[in-house]
Amino acid sequence: MTLALDLLLAGAILVVAAWTVAARDGFAACFGFVATGLLLALAWVRLGSVDVALTEAAIGAGIGGVLLLNAAARLRGQETVDPGDVARPWQARGIAALCTAVAVALAAVLLALPVPAPGLAPAAAAALPPTGLGNPVTATLMTWRALDTLLEAVVVLLAVIGVWSLAPDAAWGGRPGPQVPPAEGPLALLARVLPPIGLVIGLHIVWAGADGPGGKFQGGAILAAMWVLAWMAGLVRPPPVGSRRLVLALVAGPAVFLMVGLAGLALAGSFLALPAGFSKPVILAIEAPLTLSIATGLALLLLGPPARAA
């Protein structure tokens, strides 16, 4: 039964992905992309990685899908193609041959992997109790891969700066995204009912990340989505990008993380090392501002560069 399930799931993902690449227009391809992401979340559950499934559903298919779909709607018919970029027939054949070769080689390597593969699971399980956390993935992200997590938060910040830097000169310092008139009908209702529920669920997922699947990025994506929904219905206005409070919310998480990391240098002997016995309270103290920064950053990335003068 489980093999049939896995084969069906993998086959469906493959078909949708192939269609996404082959679809005629970009807008339709985006639907294929979102469907692929949703099914991939199921595949991650089957692979025993519920944390990744949650991330794929929230960030890959969820806000990522919305971002690409909006872009496709705005680009419709406006995208100009450089004739030099179109593959000639002999090039197309070469590309197809190359990609097939890559896929076949990768498949051969993956199937030849020893079972059980050498891994860090025993080491991770052994190092789990001192952290006071129940979820080995969160423990990995917050302790011995903490540098990744810090830089990941910084990457979100850098992306916000990069997106903002694309603002037209006249709009610099202004509010991101277009002005949205207040919505009526079903959207106005949903934008009032869903965000409070989403807030509870988003915070629950951040909190649950200590002991089960979840975490700040997944929960932060939900919080960001709820804010963008309220914005879509014209209920809230984004602050101007020059606003001091906005900037503070964006940098609070990485700044606190960095300070704790430097404190680790003094107290526990190395950068980002956590003092033994205090891991869990320290991790929670880092996660709270980090969640605020991530949610703010993801929402601003969805809105795009400032478009109106301050």
Partner 1 sequence: MSVLADGFTLLCVGAGLVFLLAGTVGLLRFPDAASRLHALTKADGLGLGLIVLGLLPQAAGLLGALKLMAIWGLVLLAGATVGPMIARHATGGSGR
Partner 2 sequence: MAEALLAAAFLALATVAAGLVRVLRGPAPADRMMAAQLLGTGGIAALLLLAAGSGGWAILDAALALAVLAAFASVAFVQAASGRSR
Partner 3 sequence: MTAPYALLAAALVGLGLHGVLAHAEPLRRLLAFNLLGSGVFLVFGVVARRGAAAGLEADPVPQAIVITGLVVAFAATTLAVALLLRLHGGDPPQD
Is residue 162 part of the contact set for partner 2 (CB under 8 A)? no
| Interatomic CA distance for residues 261 and 277, integer angstroms | 16
Is residue 201 part of the contact set for partner 2 (CB under 8 A)? yes
Residue 180: CB minimum distance to partner 1, A:
11
Residue 193: CB minimum distance to partner 3, A:
27
Q: Which does 61 bind (CB under 5 to 8 A by kind): partner 2, partner 3, partner 1, none?
A: partner 2
Stretch that binds partner 2, among 110-118, 208-216, 236-244, 256-264 (CB under 8 A): 208-216
- Please identify, using beta-carbon distances, which residue of 130 and 212 lies nearer to partner 1: 212
Q: Which does 217 bind (CB under 5 to 8 A by kind): partner 2, partner 3, partner 1, none?
A: partner 3
Binding residues for partner 2 restricted to 105-124, rule: CB under 8 A? none
| Interatomic CA distance for residues 170 and 113, integer angstroms | 56
Closest by CA to 209, choosing from 142, 144, 275, 146, is: 142
Q: Which does 185 bind (CB under 5 to 8 A by kind): partner 1, partner 3, partner 2, none?
A: partner 1
Amino acid present at 27: F
Long-range pairs of 273-277 with CB within 8 A, sequence gap ≥ 24 = 274/131, 274/143, 276/130, 277/130
What is the dihedral sign for C-alpha 80, 82, 85, 87?
A: positive
Is residue 43 part of the contact set for partner 2 (CB under 8 A)? no
- Please identify, using beta-carbon distances, which residue of 186 and 269 lies nearer to partner 1: 186
Residue 129: CB minimum distance to partner 3, A:
12
| Interatomic CA distance for residues 110 and 5, integer angstroms | 20
Decide if 222 contacts 154 (C-beta within 8 A): no
Decide if 260 contacts 147 (C-beta within 8 A): no
| Interatomic CA distance for residues 132 and 134, integer angstroms | 7
Decide if 153 contacts 253 (C-beta within 8 A): yes
Using CB under 8 A, list all residues that contact partner 2. Answer: 1-2, 4-5, 8-9, 12, 15-16, 19, 27-28, 31-32, 34-35, 38-39, 41-42, 45-46, 50, 53-54, 57-58, 61-63, 65-66, 69-70, 72-74, 177-178, 187, 190, 194, 197-198, 201-202, 204-205, 208, 212-214, 218, 221-222, 225-226, 228-229, 232, 304, 307
